[in-house]
Structure 1
Amino acid sequence: MFGLAASDSTARRTLARLDETALAKIAKARASVRRQVWSLLRLRPGGFPWLTVAGG
């Protein structure tokens, strides 16, 4: 878990082998984290920390 990161191809093969149940659990966890992050950003003074990238 804390070793070297898997290569892109290994990660892709692993995700391709997951069944619908596992993919649904991952989607649910991602949605939960996303809600938490947006909630924390709303509480932040100034709201979302807008970024400038390449002058835009």
Structure 2
Amino acid sequence: MASFAAACGGGTCVPQYGTRQKLDSLADRLMFRLAYRNFGDHESLVIRVCGFSRDALRA
């Protein structure tokens, strides 16, 4: 996975269809829970991340 970079550098910058109002990128927080797993012989923290390519915005 490529390194993470905040959309538009973070802040209110994501275009919203049908309005001039922009959405906050929320780049500073997880969108889903952080899960702790204890497998007996090792422990793990698991997260789910979502990403997109710049090409997806052109569709």
TM-score (norm 2): 0.25
Structure having the larger proportion of residues in strand: 2
Q: Flag the structure with higher helix content.
A: 1
Q: TM-score, normalised by structure 1?
A: 0.25
